[in-house]
Amino acid sequence: MMRSSKLISVLLATAMLVGFAACSDDSTGTTPDVVADVVTDTGTDTTPADTTVDTGRDVPVVTDVPVVTDVPVVTDVPVVTDVPVVTDVPVVCIPNCTDRVCGSDGCGAFCGTGVDGACLDATQACSPATGTCVAKCVWADDKPTSWGPVGSVSALQTPSVLADVQAKCFDYTGDGKGDNGLKGLAGQVNKPLSDAVTGGDIAILFELVNVSDFAATASFTLNGLLGKSVVDPPATSGDFYVQETSYLTDICQPMISFKEASITAGVLAAGPSVFQLSIPIQTDLVIDATLIQAKLKGTVVNGSAVDGFEITDGVLSGVLTKEQLVTAVGKLQATCDATPAGTTKPSFCSYLGVVNGAMGLLFDLHQVRDDAGVPTGVFVAKSKELPGDAASVCLTYSLSKAKVTGFEPVL
């Protein structure tokens, strides 16, 4: 829980820096040059002298030039003063319960008919990733005791160069070019991401379930797990503990998984998938976050069923909707507003004003909706006529060999 909270704080702090960058004046502190005609009275007669040259020829002088004096002057131009100014476009969250019978609808409410999105069968619990009811487990007895080959994220960045975005990231608009709403924020995002990975604040593990052929495996499940290096200071390779928060302990399943992942000619591919996560920020505050059309790819090298595998040229992409982000930030703001007077507010409260201002920089996509206003899952690039209401998120990553030794000890 604390690691999730710390990561959220890092991201909010990043957004704060972005907001300051977006709202600040010219960094040089200079005023742009203005070209203007300035007439200065110097006290000196500057009328040009007569410089006519006598050529000895008679030059005719034109004297009868008509002067136009009756030019109509238009004075009755109506002044339009009552032009409405649109300062804010309300965000309407569209619930998504398609093929979902339980869990969150993505808008703060729930799917299905159970209380708070619960399954009606008491022997079942909801899988947030799929919105389906699955059999409950006894965590102490049924939790995993072994893991498949694992790789640990050793580098994580968002591309900042347009050519790299278009060549590497996944295409969500169908124009054959990759998309990344984070591109313009790379200068603020990349250092916190790098520090979080190399400093051990986050350790992200990819588990390839039952994979032994790292050149060609037709179909398997890829799990995303949160870990912790067993050494101090933390390493980005070697042995890791897995955190129990990576799992839904009532059904003994990972919170993040890609079904039907594949490796073809050494290239890993997974998705699209939908991640519907519940992120605990503090004891009484859980934020729902949904990443839609999540995809990943990368080249697998040096694979071993014993000590893990590496990935080079990795790319992970997905889409966050404006509704989701506004709802999440609104829930954080409500917590700040409800803090009793005289008590210390959570650290993220001081960032939220700027976060709201900076959020618009992320939205590079427009969701195509049907006649009922429901998103169709199709995106186009935002424009003046089609405002941005979704953000493509593209991250490049590398994996180092890793091995899971068990769950993180409870101190």
* Model confidence at 48: pLDDT above 80: no
Q: Are residues 248 and 381 in the same domain?
A: yes
Q: Kindly state whether residue 42 falls inside one of the protein's structural domains.
A: no
Evaluate whether residue 61 is within a structural domain.
no
**173 and 317: one domain?**
yes
Of the candidates 103, 121, 136, which is a domain's last residue?
A: 136
Query: Is residue 383 in some structural domain?
Result: yes
Mean pLDDT of 151-162: 95
Question: Could you report the per-residue pLDDT of 9-27, keeping only the tens digit for each?
Answer: 334 333 333 333 333 333 3
How crowded is residue 97: how many other Cβ atoms within 10 Å of its Cβ?
18
pLDDT at 256 (0 to 100): 86
Q: Is residue 20 part of a domain?
A: no
Same domain, 203 and 114: no
Looking at the fold, whether 192 and 319 belong to one and the same domain comes out as yes
Residues 389 and 250 in one domain: yes
Greater pLDDT, 267 or 286: 267
* SS3 of residue 39 by DSSP: coil
Q: Is residue 284 domain-shared with residue 363, that is, in the same domain?
A: yes
**Mean pLDDT, rounded, for 292-304:** 94
- The bridge status of strand 238-242 relative to strand 390-407 is parallel
pLDDT of residue 3 exceeding 70: no
Q: What is the mean pLDDT of the chain?
A: 79
Q: What average pLDDT does the segment 153-166 reach?
A: 95
Residues 350-376 have pLDDT tens digits of: 878 777 777 778 899 999 988 888 788
Residue 66's CB: how many other CB atoms inside 10 A? 5
Domain of 203 in residue numbering reads as 137-407
Residue that has been written with the tokens 């609104």 in this structure = 330
The residue ranking higher by pLDDT, 39 or 126, is 126
Cα separation, 274 vs 323, in Å, equals 16
Tens digit of pLDDT for each residue in 325-353? Answer: 888 888 888 989 999 998 999 888 887 87
Which range has the worst mean pLDDT, 91-95, 272-276, 282-286?
Answer: 91-95
What pLDDT is stored for residue 331 in this prediction? 86
Q: What's the rounded mean pLDDT across residues 189-198?
A: 89
Q: Are residues 112 and 211 both part of a single domain?
A: no
- 37 in a structural domain: no
Burial of 315 (0-12, 13-18, 19+ CB in 10 A): middle
More confident residue, 28 or 64: 64
Q: Give the position of tokens 């020829």.
A: 57
Global pTM reads 0.72
238 and 112 in a common domain: no
Each residue's pLDDT tens digit, 129-144: 678 999 999 999 999 9
Q: Number of structural domains, the chain?
A: 2
Token duo for residue 198: 């190399």
| Main-chain phi, psi angles of 257, to 5 degrees | -155, 145
